[in-house]
Amino acid sequence: MAELQNQRIETEEFFDMRREVLEAWPTGAEVNLDEAVAYQKSIPPPKRFSGVLDSALAAGGTLIQPRAGVALVEQQIALLKYLEEKGGADLLPATVDSYTRQNQYREAGKGIEESFAAGRSMLNGFPIVNHGVNESRRVIEAVSIPVQVRHGTPDARLLAEISIAAGFTAFEGGGISYNIPYAKDISLEATINYWQYVDRLTGWYEEQGVTINREPFGPLTGTLVPPCISHAVAIIETLLAAEQGARNISVGYGQCGNLIQDVAALKALNILAREYLERYNYQVALSTVFHQWMGGFPADEAKAFAVIAWGAAAAAFAKATKVIVKTPHEAFGVPTKEANGDGLKATRQILNMLRDQVLPESDEIDAEVAVNLAETRSILEKVVELGEGDWAKGAVRAFAAGILDIPFAPSRVNRGKVMPVRDDKGAVRFLDNGNIPLPRDVLEYHREKVAARAKTERRPVSFQMVIDDIYAISKGMLVGRPG
Amino acid sequence: MAELQNQRIETEEFFDMRREVLEAWPTGAEVNLDEAVAYQKSIPPPKRFSGVLDSALAAGGTLIQPRAGVALVEQQIALLKYLEEKGGADLLPATVDSYTRQNQYREAGKGIEESFAAGRSMLNGFPIVNHGVNESRRVIEAVSIPVQVRHGTPDARLLAEISIAAGFTAFEGGGISYNIPYAKDISLEATINYWQYVDRLTGWYEEQGVTINREPFGPLTGTLVPPCISHAVAIIETLLAAEQGARNISVGYGQCGNLIQDVAALKALNILAREYLERYNYQVALSTVFHQWMGGFPADEAKAFAVIAWGAAAAAFAKATKVIVKTPHEAFGVPTKEANGDGLKATRQILNMLRDQVLPESDEIDAEVAVNLAETRSILEKVVELGEGDWAKGAVRAFAAGILDIPFAPSRVNRGKVMPVRDDKGAVRFLDNGNIPLPRDVLEYHREKVAARAKTERRPVSFQMVIDDIYAISKGMLVGRPG
Amino acid sequence: MKKYTLVLGVIGMDVHAVGNKILEYAFTNAGFKVVNLGVMVSQAEFIDAAIETAADAMMISSLYGHGELDCRGLRGKCIEAGIGNILLYVGGNLVVGKASFAEVEQKFKAMGFDRIYPPGTAPETAIRDLKEDLGLMT
Amino acid sequence: MKKYTLVLGVIGMDVHAVGNKILEYAFTNAGFKVVNLGVMVSQAEFIDAAIETAADAMMISSLYGHGELDCRGLRGKCIEAGIGNILLYVGGNLVVGKASFAEVEQKFKAMGFDRIYPPGTAPETAIRDLKEDLGLMT
Ligand code: B12
Ligand code: B12
C-alpha cells in the first residue's frame, strides 16, 4: 500500500485493487461494471437517492428514512415494502448485519442458514455480500423508492462493489466514522484507504453518468458527542470523498436533545461543509441528515414515542433534508416492521405539523452557531495543519495526537481523553476537552455552561455526572440530575 | 330568579337555593356541610389541588393530568390508581358521564346497572351524583394525589355540592364554557346563575378555610378556536368566580398547533387574567392550564402519540402550570387505562426533556402576544361596556350581539357567525370575525395572514379551507392544504 | 331528478357539533335535501321530523359513547309510526371505548340499522351508499 | 477481604462500548478486580483471560443481537479449559428483536449461563447477585 494521501486514486491502480477486492468472496464475480452502469442507468430519478434528495432540497421539506435489515431476501422485501407502503417512508435502507460489517462472510452465511431454519432472522441486518448482486437486485426491484446501504463496515470495498452493482443508489460510511465507533483494532490508515476506494468507485460511476449518494456517518458513537467533533469528522470525510469524485454527499448529525443546540449545529454543519468544499472547488450537491437520538432509549414504548417525536421536531426546525427515524422498540432489539412503521408515522405527523412553522431567529441560536463554527474550524485547521495540507494524513495524525477524539469509542486508535457532559439546559459540552484544540473563549463558554449546571445540582462536575447523563434519556430525562 | 348580576350571592339566599338543589336527587341528602368541611380539612396539602398547584408554581415545572371516568366506583378506583402509579399522573380527574352532565340521573342510573350487567362501562364517565358522597369518597381515599371533577355540565349545582362534600378539591367549568359548547337550548342567564351558585359554594368553603380550585373550561369546542375568544371567556368566568369568593383559579387554553401562537397565547392569557383580577382587587392564586390538541385526532396510534408529544412540547415551552393529556385512543373512544397511561408517559418524557430548555425570546412571539392582548382586551372591554360595568350582564348581551361567538358551538345562544381558519404557518386566524370587535390593525393582521395562505395554496379563502383545517390534524397535517 | 330528503342529527345527550355541520354541508352539496336537527336529538324528534318531511333516510350520529343506549328501539318506533321502511344510517364513535368494528356493526345491524359506519368515515362513503340504497347509481 | 476477579467484555463482533465502560466503573467501585477486555472479544480471549487472572466470573455483554450465535458452546470450552466451574453471567440485548425474556433466559440457562439479564439491567443488580453467588452476602 502506497503512502496514504488525499489524492484521487489513479484509474489503473484502482482497477488493480478491484481485482483483489472482488476475489474476497465468490459473489464478487457477479460484479460486471458495464452491465452495472447500464443497470444503474435504468433506475429512474424517483428511485434514485440523488433524485429524491434534489427534489426535497428544492421543495424544502424533510424526508424520512428508517433503518431496517433482516437475514433473508424475501424477508427484506416484505420489510421494505411494508415500510414504504404502510410506514410511508420516503427513502429506504438495507441495514447490513454485523458479521458482514466485519467481513466475516462465513459467519454471515451461517446466520442465513440458521435464519432459514429458525424461521426468524438470526442476523441483525441484511448480508448483502452473501446474497450477491442478483439476489440483492430483487430487493431494489420490489420497491418504488430509493434504497441506501447503511452499515458500519470498516472495510466496505466489496460491500460497495456489490451494493452499487446491485442498484443501491446511496452508500453510508467513511474511513473515520465507520472505524472509530465500529472497530477496535483497525488502523485509520487502512480504513481511510479502504474508503478512498469506495469513494473512487463512486467517482468512477459518476464519470459514467451514474450518481451515487455518499453519507458520512454523522452520529459516531451516538452518545453525547459534542457537535464540533462529529462536524469535523463529517467534513473531513466529505473532502476525502469529493477528492475521489463523489458529487452527491449528505452530511449527518445525531440529535443531542437541546433544541437550540441541535438547530444551531445543523445550521453550522451546513455552512461549514459548503465552506470547505468551496475552498477546494469541489462541485458537490450537499444535503443534511438529522438522526433522532442515537443513545440509549427508554424501554417504555410510549416514552420512546416521545423521544422519537422530539427528534422529529428538532429535525423539522433544523430543516434537515432527511431524518433517520428510531422506533419504539429501540431499547430492546431490532424492531418488528410494525414498530419500525410506527416510528415513521409518528415522525411524519410531526414533520407535517411543523413543516410550515419556523423557529424564530434569536441571539441564543446565533451565539450557539457562532461557537459551533469557531470550535469546528479550530479543529479542522489543526487537522489540515498536522497533515501539512493533506486531510488524510491530517486525520490520522490528529487522532494519534488526540486532536480528534470521539467519546466512548471502542477503537484503540482513539485517545479517549475527551469527556462530554450536559450543561444546565441539556446542551452537550466538554467536561474535559482532552487535546481537542478549542479557542480560549469557546473553552470558557463550555466551562461556564458546565459550572452553571454544577451549581444548580450542588455537586461537583465529575464522571458520575456523565454516567447520569448517559442514562438520562432512557430514564425519562435529558439532564442526569441527582436524586 | 332575581335579575342576573355579577354580585356575591347573599348567604341567606344561597342557603335557600341549596335546599332546593339538594332535593333534586336522593343523594343530595348525603351532603352535610359541617361534616364536609371537616372531611375536606382532613385532606392534607399534597392531596389538595391548591397545594399541588402552589408547589408547581414555586418549582416552575408543568404538572400532568389525564381525563378518566368509568361507570362504577371499583372501576374508577382501579383506573385512577393505575394512572397515578403506572401513568405517573400528578393530578387525577373524575370525568363525569354525559347523562349526569344533563342532570339525567335516571339515565345515568340505568347506565350503572347496564355496566354491572355488561361487565364493562356503558357510560362515558363517572356518575358522581348517582354514586353520592360516601361512595365517591372511596375514590378520593384510594389515591394519594388530588382529584378534580371534570365534566361539561350546564347546571352543575348538585354535582358541585356532592363533589366537594365527597372530597374532590377542584371543580372544572363555568357558566359560559359549560354551556355554549355543551348544550343546545339553555339560556346563558340560567347557566351563569347556576355557576354563580357553584362559585358561591366554593367561596363558602373558602370562608371555612377550605380552598377548592376552580377551572373555567378553556378549549370550548376544541376546534380552531381563536385564542382571543377562549381568553375572553376564561377571564369573564374568572371574574365571576372571584366575585363569589373563589380564590384559587386555573385559566385554560386549548392548543392550536402553531408553537409561536400557542406560547404567545398562554403568555397573554396569564397577563390578562392577572390584569383583570387586579382591576377589581380580587386576591386569587392563578395558574394556567394547557390542553393538548382538543380537535379531531388521527386514528393511527403512532400519529396520535406524535400529536400528544407536540402538545407536551408546546405546554413545556409555554410554561403552563399543568397540561391536560390526550391518549392514543382519542380518535376511537374512551381510552383503556393503558392507553391513558401511555399518553401520560409520553407527555412526561417530553416535559422532562424540555424542562430546562427555554424558547428564546423573539420578535415573532412578542408580536403575537401583542396582537393577542389587543384583541382580547377589545372584546372584554366591549363586554363590560354592554353590561354597563357588570360582567354577567355583559356576557349575556355579548353573546346575543355576537360580540362573543364560539366557532362550531351547538348552542342556540351562540350566533355562530364567526369562522376561523389557519394561516400559512398554521396559526388560527379569523376568516370571518362576525361581530367580534377587533381593532382595525388586528383585523388587518388576520387578513394578511389568511391572504398569505390563500396565495400559497392558489385558491380563494372559503369554507372548504375551514373543512380542510378541521380534518387536517386527523389526516396528519396542521394546515389543510388542497390536493 | 327527484330531491331525496335526509333527516340529520346527533342522537341522545350528545353535543358533538362539528361533524354534524360538515355532514350537512356535504350531503347538501351532494344534492340531497337535508333537514338538520343539530345535536341532542331524541328518537321522537327524529321520527317526527322524518314524518313531517317525508324523509327517505335518517342519518344519525353518535360520538360520545352512549350510542348503544340511545339507539335501542328506534326501528321499532319507526314501524309504530308507520315509517318502518325508512333507511337508518348511523355513524360516529358508537360505543364506549375502542371496540372491534365488526362487533359494533353486528350489534347495530341487529337493532335494525341499514348502514353502520366506524369512526372517521368520510361523508363521501355514505353518499355513495345512499345513492346505491336509493337506486340512484348510474 | 479477598478481591474477587471478574473478566468483563463484549462478545463477538459487537462494538457497543458505552455499557462496557460503565460496567467496568461500577464493578470496580463495588470492590471487584475487573479485567476489562473491551469490545469484540472472542470466546477464546475470554477463556484465556480468565485462566491467566484466575477469575471468579465472566461478565459477558452482548448488545447487537448475535448473542445467541456468539455464546454457544462457551460453557463447554470452559470445561475443556479446566475452568468449568467459573460463573458465567451474560446481559444486554441478547437476541435479535424484542423477545420474551423468559424464553431468552431459558435458552441461555440451557447453554450453561448462571445468570442472564434483560436489556437495561442496572449494574447494581448484577453486583448483588455476584455477592450472593460468591458467598459474600452479609
Ligand atoms: C449507542 C448505540 C449504538 C452505537 C454504539 C457506539 C459504541 N461503539 O458504543 C452505534 C451507533 C455505533 C451502534 C451500532 C450498532 N447497533 Co446499536 N445501539 C446503540 C443504543 C442506542 C444504545 C446502547 C448504549 O450505549 N446504551 C447505554 C448503555 C449504558 O447501556 P447498555 O449498552 O444497554 O448496557 C447496560 C445494560 O444493558 C447492562 N448490561 C450490558 N451488558 C451486561 C452484562 C451483564 C453481565 C450485566 C449484568 C449487565 C449488562 O449494563 C450496562 C450498563 O448499565 C442501543 C439501543 C438502546 N439501548 O437504546 C442500540 C442497539 C444495541 N444497537 C443495535 C444494533 C443492531 C446495532 C448495529 C448492528 C446496527 C445499527 N443499528 O447500526 C450496529 C452494531 C455494530 C456492531 N458491530 O456491534 C440493536 C441491537 C438489536 C438487537 N439486540 O436485537 C440495538 C438494541 C438497537 C435496536 N433496537 O435495533 N449502536
Ligand atoms: C371536539 C371534541 C369534543 C368537543 C366537542 C365540541 C362540540 N360541541 O362539537 C368537546 C370538548 C366539547 C367534547 C366533549 C365531550 N366529548 Co368529545 N370529542 C371531540 C373530538 C376530539 C373530536 C370530534 C370532532 O369534532 N371531530 C371532527 C369531526 C369532523 O369528525 P366526527 O365528529 O368524527 O364526525 C365525522 C365522522 O365521524 C362521520 N360521521 C359522524 N356521524 C356520522 C353519521 C353517519 C350516518 C355517517 C355516514 C358518518 C358520520 O362524519 C363526520 C364528518 O366527517 C373527539 C375525538 C376525535 N374524533 O378525535 C372526542 C370524542 C368524540 N369525545 C368523547 C367524549 C367522551 C366527550 C365527553 C363525554 C367527555 C369529555 N371528554 O369531555 C364530552 C361529551 C359531551 C356531550 N354531552 O356530548 C369521546 C367519545 C368516547 C367514545 N365514543 O367512547 C371521544 C371519541 C374522545 C375519546 N376518545 O374519549 N368533545
> Between B259, B328, B347, which is nearest A357 by CB?
B259
Tell me the mean pLDDT in the region A438-460.
97
Q: Is the CB of C108 within 6 Å of ligand 2? A: no
Mutate to test the pocket of ligand 2, among C16, C23, C37 (most ligand atoms within 8 A of CB): C16
pLDDT at C136: 84
Calculate how close chain A gets to D66, using CA atoms only, in Å.
7
Which of these three, B353, B379, B396, is where a domain ends? B353
Q: Is the CB of B326 within 6 Å of ligand 2? A: no
pLDDT at A483: 79
Domain count, chain A: 2
| A408/D13 touch (CB, cutoff 8 Å), yes or no | no
CB pairs under 8 A between A and B: 143
Look up residue A212 and give its DSSP letter. Answer: -
Residues A136 and A215 in one domain: yes
Exactly one of B67, B101, B157, B214 is catalytic; which is it?
B101
> Between B110, B120, B331, which is nearest C119 by CB?
B331
Q: Do chains C and A touch (3 or more CB pairs under 8 A)?
A: no
Residue B376: inside a domain, yes or no?
no
Q: What is the pLDDT of residues D81-116, one digit of tens each?
A: 999 999 999 999 998 888 889 999 999 999 999 999
Residue of A nearest to B473 (CA): A353
pLDDT at A74: 97
Q: What is the pLDDT of residues D36-80, one digit of tens each?
A: 999 999 999 999 999 999 999 999 999 999 899 999 999 999 999
Residue A477: inside a domain, yes or no?
yes
Integer Cα distance of B71 and B77 in angstroms: 11
Residues A303 and A162 in one domain: yes
Q: What is the pLDDT of residues B291-303, one digit of tens each?
A: 999 999 999 999 9
Q: How far is CA B93 from CA A101, A439, B169, B371, C98, in A?
A: 53, 54, 10, 34, 20
Integer Cα distance of B275 and A73 in angstroms: 67
* Cβ neighbours, 10 Å, residue B331: 21
Confirm or reject contact between A316 and chain B (CB < 8 A).
no
| B349/A298 touch (CB, cutoff 8 Å), yes or no | yes
Q: Is residue D1 very low, low, confident or very high in pLDDT (cuts 50, 70, 90)? A: low
Residue D77: inside a domain, yes or no?
yes
3-class DSSP state for residue D120? coil
| B123/C96 touch (CB, cutoff 8 Å), yes or no | yes
Residue B387: inside a domain, yes or no?
no
Residue D2: inside a domain, yes or no?
no
pLDDT at D97: 83
Mean pLDDT of chain D: 95
Mean pLDDT of chain B: 97
pLDDT at B483: 79
Closest alpha carbon to A223 in A41, A407, A38:
A407
Torsion of CA A220, A223, A224, A225, to 10 degrees: -10
* Cβ neighbours, 10 Å, residue B37: 18
Q: What is the pLDDT of residues A135-177, one digit of tens each?
A: 999 999 999 999 999 999 999 999 999 999 999 999 999 999 9
| C93/B332 touch (CB, cutoff 8 Å), yes or no | yes
Closest alpha carbon to A479 in A443, A441, A452, A444:
A452
Residue A433: inside a domain, yes or no?
yes
| C65/B221 touch (CB, cutoff 8 Å), yes or no | no
Q: Which atom of ligand 1 is nearest to the CA of D16?
A: 9
Stated as kind and residue range, the H or E segment containing A92 is strand A92-95
Residue A404: inside a domain, yes or no?
no
Q: Is the CB of C15 within 6 Å of ligand 2? A: yes
Contact B333, C96 (CB under 8 A): yes
ipTM of the complex: 0.97
Range of the domain at D52: 9-16+25-133
Contact B213, B172 (CB under 8 A): no
Residue C2: inside a domain, yes or no?
no
Largest CA distance in chain B: 66
Mean pLDDT of chain A: 97
Q: What is the pLDDT of residues B328-340, one digit of tens each?
A: 999 999 999 999 9
> Between A99, A120, A223, which is nearest D18 by CB?
A223
Confirm or reject contact between B11 and chain A (CB < 8 A).
no
Q: Is the CB of C18 within 6 Å of ligand 2? A: yes
Q: Residue A264 pLDDT > 90, yes or no?
A: yes
Residue of B nearest to C38 (CA): B410
Closest alpha carbon to A462 in A431, A424, A422, A426:
A431
Residue A403: inside a domain, yes or no?
no
Residue B377: inside a domain, yes or no?
no
pLDDT at D82: 97
Report the CATH number at residue D102.
3.40.50.280
Which of these three, A312, A329, A353, is where a domain ends? A353
Q: Which residue is closest in CA terms to ligand 2's atom 6?
A: B221
Which residues of chain D neighbour A122 with C-beta distances below 8 Å?
Answer: 66, 68-69, 96
**Mutating which of A99, A100, A179, A184 best tests the D interface, going by the most D Cβ atoms within 10 A?**
A184
| C66/B223 touch (CB, cutoff 8 Å), yes or no | no
Chain D: touching chains (3 or more CB pairs < 8 Å): A
Domain count, chain D: 1
Residues B213 and B95 in one domain: yes
Integer Cα distance of C50 and B426 in angstroms: 41
Tell me the mean pLDDT in the region A29-54.
97
Q: Give A461-466's long-range contacts (Cβ < 8 A, gap of 24+).
A: A461/A421, A461/A431, A463/A419, A463/D25, A465/A421, A465/A422, A465/A431, A466/A224, A466/A419, A466/A420, A466/A421, A466/A431
Integer Cα distance of A226 and A376 in angstroms: 10
Q: What is the share, in percent, of chain A residues with pLDDT greater than 90? A: 99
pLDDT at C137: 67
Q: Which atom of ligand 1 is nearest to the CA of D90?
A: 45
Stated as kind and residue range, the H or E segment containing C24 is helix C18-29
Q: What is the pLDDT of residues B444-471, one digit of tens each?
A: 999 999 999 999 999 999 999 999 999 9
3-class DSSP state for residue A172? strand
Window B:347-386, CB contacts with A under 8 Å: 347-350, 352-358, 360-365
Tell me the mean pLDDT in the region A446-471.
96
Confirm or reject contact between C22 and chain B (CB < 8 A).
yes
Query: What pTM was estimated for this model as a whole?
Result: 0.97
Residues A483 and A339 in one domain: no
Residues A211 and A335 in one domain: yes
Q: Residue A445 pLDDT > 90, yes or no?
A: yes
Range of the domain at B461: 417-483
Integer Cα distance of B137 and B156 in angstroms: 19
Residue A210: inside a domain, yes or no?
yes
Q: Residue C138 pLDDT > 60, yes or no?
A: no
* Residues of D noted as catalytic: 14, 16
Report the CATH number at residue A281.
3.20.20.240
Integer Cα distance of D118 and A59 in angstroms: 45
Partners of A428 in beta bridges: A422
Q: Residue A57 pLDDT > 90, yes or no?
A: yes
Beta strand ranges found along B3-161 (DSSP E): 63-65, 92-95, 147-150
Q: Which atom of ligand 2 is nearest to the CA of C62?
A: 41
pLDDT at B45: 94
Calculate how close chain B gets to C46, using CA atoms only, in Å.
16
Mutate to test the pocket of ligand 2, among C14, C29, C40, C63 (most ligand atoms within 8 A of CB): C63
Q: Is residue C1 very low, low, confident or very high in pLDDT (cuts 50, 70, 90)? A: low
DSSP characters over D25-70: HHHHHTT-EEEE--SSB-HHHHHHHHHHHT-SEEEEEE-SS-HHHH
Integer Cα distance of A351 and A209 in angstroms: 33
> Between A98, A102, A470, which is nearest D18 by CB?
A470
Window A:251-270, CB contacts with B under 8 Å: 257-260
Integer Cα distance of B128 and B99 in angstroms: 11
| A333/D120 touch (CB, cutoff 8 Å), yes or no | no
Tell me the mean pLDDT in the region A311-335.
97
Q: What is the pLDDT of residues C51-91, one digit of tens each?
A: 999 999 999 999 999 899 999 999 999 999 999 999 999 99
Report the CATH number at residue B476.
3.90.970.10
Torsion of CA D17, D22, D27, D33, to 10 degrees: 50
* Cβ neighbours, 10 Å, residue B43: 19
Ligand 1 shell residues, CB under 6 Å: A 67, 95, 98, 101, 124-125, 152, 181-182, 219, 221-223, 294-297, 329-334, 408, 410, 470; D 13-19, 22-23, 59, 61, 63-65, 89-93, 96-97, 117, 119-121, 123, 126
A213: Cβ contacts below 8 Å, ≥ 6 apart: A49, A50, A53, A148, A169, A170, A171, A248, A249, A250
> Between B358, B426, B473, which is nearest A356 by CB?
B426
Q: What is the pLDDT of residues A60-116, one digit of tens each?
A: 999 999 999 999 999 999 999 999 999 999 999 999 999 999 999 999 999 999 999
